[in-house]
């Protein structure tokens, strides 16, 4: 399926930046709406940049209105919100749910978003419980096609420094062959490629993809 018009939330992040590169170099993809909080500097004839207030559902809805596919790879870290769980929830959950609701309103053919390996709304830990709650809420919206990607540790070079994550990127791949597949480190580029490939077929229903499915669909 050709993607005449798509929207990307989180295009400056690790997965989002890979997504954007794939889309602008994909002959099957036309206009790419890039939605950010701050001015976006990348220039390409396919890109239409939008700087919005992410807390405004109407702004989100207006941008996704004509898109066939919407990609969301947004998120933050505990350090960026000074360990404020409510602030974290506003970024990770409220924004994504508003995006999903806009997809529902405008009959978007496929909504693809990044979650996390181990996401479970009944988990004891804040992070995985929140990810599970996000998934459950999106599921309840009953969108025509939802693709949920659950990577574990992401491999790739981030713009900002995350010391602990960098150490993990160096160490965990050594143990990857001995780990359950869903918890193996995976490159952001593979996640992004699988998101684009799967979106073109818009599989019906609510579908979740872990390491093995992501690697298979990224070819």
Alpha-helical runs (H) found in 69-155: 85-89, 95-105, 126-140
Residue 43 CB-density burial (10 A; 0-12 exposed, 13-18 middle, 19+ buried): exposed
- For residue 109, what is the DSSP state? S
Give me the domains of the chain, ranges plus CATH numbers: 3-217 (3.40.50.720)
pLDDT tens for the chain, 219 residues long, are: 889 999 999 999 999 999 999 999 999 999 999 999 888 888 899 999 999 999 899 999 999 999 999 999 987 665 566 667 887 888 789 999 999 999 999 999 999 999 999 999 999 999 999 999 999 999 999 999 999 999 998 886 655 555 444 544 554 454 455 566 777 889 999 999 999 999 999 999 999 999 999 999 998
Give the angle subtended at the CA of 110 by the CAs of 104 and 111, to the nearest 5°: 70
What is d(CA 152, CA 138) in angstroms, rounded to the nearest whole number? 20
Measuring CA to CA, how many Å separate 151 from each of 6, 37, 63, 215? 22, 24, 27, 10
Q: Which two tokens stand for residue 154?
A: 């992401």
Task: Return the half-sphere exposure (C-beta side, CA atoms, 13 A cut-off) of residue 191.
Answer: 35
pLDDT of residue 52: 94
What is d(CA 106, CA 160) in angstroms, rounded to the nearest whole number? 34
What is d(CA 109, CA 107) in angstroms, rounded to the nearest whole number? 6
With contact defined as beta carbons under 8 Å apart, do 73 and 148 qualify?
no
| pTM for this predicted structure | 0.89
Dihedral Cα 204, 208, 210, 214, nearest 10 deg:
30
Contacts of 218 (CB under 8 A, 6+ apart): 189, 190, 191, 193, 194, 197
């Amino acid at each position: 399926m050709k993607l005449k018009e798509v929207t990307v939330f989180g295009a400056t992040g690790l997965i989002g930046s890979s997504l954007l590169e794939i889309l602008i170099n994909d002959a099957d993809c036309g206009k790419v709406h890039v939605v950010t909080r701050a001015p976006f500097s990348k220039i390409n004839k396919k890109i239409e940049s939008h700087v919005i207030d992410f807390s405004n559902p109407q702004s989100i809805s207006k941008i996704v209105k004509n898109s066939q596919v919407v990609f969301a790879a947004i998120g933050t870290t505990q350090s960026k919100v000074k360990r404020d769980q409510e602030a974290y929830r506003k970024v990770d959950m409220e924004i994504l749910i508003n995006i999903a609701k806009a997809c529902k309103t405008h009959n978007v053919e496929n909504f693809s978003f990044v979650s996390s390996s181990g996401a479970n709304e009944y988990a004891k830990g804040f992070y995985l419980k929140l990810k599970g709650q996000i998934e459950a809420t999106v599921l309840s919206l009953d969108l025509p096609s939802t693709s949920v990607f659950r990577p574990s540790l992401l491999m790739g070079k981030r713009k900002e420094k995350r010391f602990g994550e960098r150490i993990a990127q160096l160490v965990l791949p050594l143990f990857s062959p001995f780990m359950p597949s869903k918890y193996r480190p995976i490159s952001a580029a593979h996640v992004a490629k699988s998101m684009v490939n799967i979106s073109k077929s818009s599989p019906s229903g609510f579908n979740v993809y872990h390491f093995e499915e992501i690697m298979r669909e990224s070819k």
